[in-house]
């Protein structure tokens, strides 16, 4: 009998994707907590609120009404129609409900979109800093991520000229994410119009517009790029219920796109999984059409916490924390600390700083290297004011003892 090593049969597709640093940091924080350490985790990418009661009630009701069977692959007509109304009213987008595919989270919508459009060797442009999951999906689909960068000096928003310079005959997709994870930056109408002009000049490029943080915005109107002239036929608009409605565990997202793209996305979804959970889809209709007081309460709470965290971090020598326009993340530049020796520990880079903050000071953050910017770290303020106040105190003491 020959010896068999299961490792030897792993596909090159899985090898192309690394375990996300963010998962590693969260895991490490959890392990330290389990060992009895008083760890404050600021790594989390989900609301610390429970789903509003009326949405939970709607799910029970839907279950009792018999919505416990397979749902149609592209989604329940009730939800797709409610989404078409939402997109019209809130985003000035004119989609027929047949142009909407519901999936198990925005992440699956993004995966569907990439697998529906990207062939081996096609290029997909990412604007760094970016949510790292995009890169893994592009690689698994055989595509080539092309990364353009905009740091703090650009307010984390690249000029359209940088996008233009990165586009080639092989560019299939440009992924935009506003409000942005990890920086909280938002694109306004003028900035989007400049991107739109570059993209419309190109014979076959489309945009995936990831708008999952739409409802968590503080200073500016959220703008959907598909609402700009000529852009609806060039855009796959992705959104979901996880962040704004505090429904991460329900796994529900959606994409709206021109007919042929939607058909192909539905085909991908039908191949890999099936329709999203039926009673969750019915509860989502209630989320869209019911009262929004809870959504607004969460937004106001995040806003107060944003100000607390930004002010607290900026008071620390060596840290520069720009105010995020949206999301529940602050992306703080810590590069002035590199090369310094703090309490007998030399800080070489951001990974080093984040490990040291966790291991010695018991505050878990995510190094910016996880998002393509190694000068900063990401702090999530989706946690209590007490946790945030204590975490800032610890970081201040760690950095300026």
Residues forming the site for ligand PLP (CB under 6 A): 45, 105-107, 131, 177, 181, 210, 212, 240, 242, 248, 253
**Closest CB 109 distance from ligand PLP, rounded Å:** 8
Nearer to ligand PLP, 106 or 113 (CB): 106
Query: Residue 179, exposed/middle/buried by CB under 10 A (0-12, 13-18, 19+)?
Result: buried
Whole-angstrom distance, CA of residue 106 vs CA of residue 65:
26
Which has the closest alpha carbon to 327: 164, 156, 168?
156
Please calculate the CA angle 360-362-368 and round it to the nearest 5 degrees: 95
What's the min distance (Å) between Cβ of 340 and ligand PLP? 31
CB of 62 to ligand PLP, least distance (A): 19
CA–CA gap between residue 218 and residue 243 (Å, rounded):
15
Q: Which residue is nearest to ligand PLP (CB)?
A: 105
DSSP designation for 178: S
**Which of 45/151 has CB closer to ligand PLP?**
45
CA 22 – CA 218 distance, rounded (Å): 25
Where would I find the beta strands (DSSP E) of 152-205?
171-177
**Toward ligand PLP, which CB reaches closer, 76 or 132?**
132
> Which H or E element spans position 366?
strand 366-367
Instruction: Please list the alpha-helical segments (H only) found in 167-226.
Output: 189-200
Q: Which two tokens stand for residue 234?
A: 């060039």
Q: How far is the CB of 327 from ligand PLP (least distance, A)?
A: 8
Pick the closer one to ligand PLP by CB: 361 or 378.
Answer: 378
Which one-letter DSSP state was computed for residue 236? Answer: E
| Smallest gap from residue 12 Cβ to ligand PLP (A) | 25
Quick one: 110 or 358, whose CB is closer to ligand PLP? 110
- Expressed in angstroms, the distance from the first to the final Cα of the chain is 62
Smallest separation, CB 238 to ligand PLP (Å)? 7
* Beta bridge partners of residue 329, listed in sequence order: 380
**Which residue lies nearer to ligand PLP by CB, 133 or 342?**
133
Query: Do strands 253-256 and 100-103 pair parallel, antiparallel, or not at all (unpaired)?
Result: antiparallel
Q: Write b or e for each residue in 241-267: b if 16 or more Cβ atoms lie within 10 A of its Cβ, otherwise e.
A: bbbbbbbbebbbbbbbbeeebbebbbe
Which residue is associated with the tokens 């329900």? 250
CB of 90 to ligand PLP, least distance (A): 17
State how far the Cα of 256 lies from the Cα of 240, in Å rounded to an integer.
11
CB of 127 to ligand PLP, least distance (A): 12
Nearer to ligand PLP, 45 or 75 (CB): 45
Nearer residue to ligand PLP within complex by CB, 254 or 312: 254
């Amino acid at each position: 009998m020959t010896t068999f090593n299961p490792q030897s049969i792993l596909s090159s597709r899985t090898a192309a994707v690394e375990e996300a640093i963010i998962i590693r940091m969260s895991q490490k924080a959890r392990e330290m907590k389990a060992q009895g350490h008083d760890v404050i985790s600021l790594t989390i990418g989900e609301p610390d609120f429970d789903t509003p009661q009326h949405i939970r009630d709607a799910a029970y009701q839907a279950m009792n009404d018999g919505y416990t069977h397979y749902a149609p692959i592209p989604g329940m007509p009730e939800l797709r129609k409610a989404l078409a109304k939402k997109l019209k009213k809130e985003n000035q987008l004119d989609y027929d409900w047949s142009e909407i595919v519901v999936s198990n989270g925005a992440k699956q919508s993004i995966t569907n979109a990439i697998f529906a459009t990207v062939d081996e060797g096609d290029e997909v442009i990412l604007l760094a800093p970016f949510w790292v999951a995009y890169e893994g999906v592009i690689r698994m689909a055989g595509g080539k991520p092309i990364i353009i960068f905009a740091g703090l000096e650009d307010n984390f928003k690249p000029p359209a000229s940088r996008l233009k310079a990165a586009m080639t005959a092989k560019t299939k997709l440009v992924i935009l994410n506003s409000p942005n994870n990890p920086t909280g930056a938002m694109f306004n109408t003028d900035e989007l119009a400049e991107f739109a002009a570059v993209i419309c000049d190109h014979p076959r490029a489309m945009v995936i517009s990831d708008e999952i943080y739409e409802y968590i915005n503080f200073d500016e109107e959220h703008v959907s790029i598909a609402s700009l002239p000529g852009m609806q036929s060039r855009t796959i608009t992705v959104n979901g219920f996880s962040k704004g409605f505090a429904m991460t565990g329900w796994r529900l997202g959606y994409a709206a796109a021109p007919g042929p793209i939607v058909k192909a996305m539905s085909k991908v979804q039908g191949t890999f999984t099936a329709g999203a959970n039926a009673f969750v889809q019915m509860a989502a209709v209630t989320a869209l059409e019911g009262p929004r007081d809870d959504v607004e309460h969460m937004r106001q709470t995040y806003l107060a916490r944003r100000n607390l965290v930004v002010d607290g971090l900026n008071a620390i020598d060596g840290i520069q924390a720009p105010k995020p326009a949206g999301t529940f993340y602050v992306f703080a530049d810590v590069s002035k600390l590199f090369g310094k020796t703090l309490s007998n520990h030399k800080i070489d880079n951001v990974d080093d700083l984040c490990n040291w903050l966790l291991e010695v000071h018991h505050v878990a953050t995510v190094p910016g290297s996880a998002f393509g910017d190694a000068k900063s770290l990401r702090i999530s303020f989706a946690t209590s004011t007490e946790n945030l106040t204590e975490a800032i105190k610890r970081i201040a003491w760690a950095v300026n003892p």
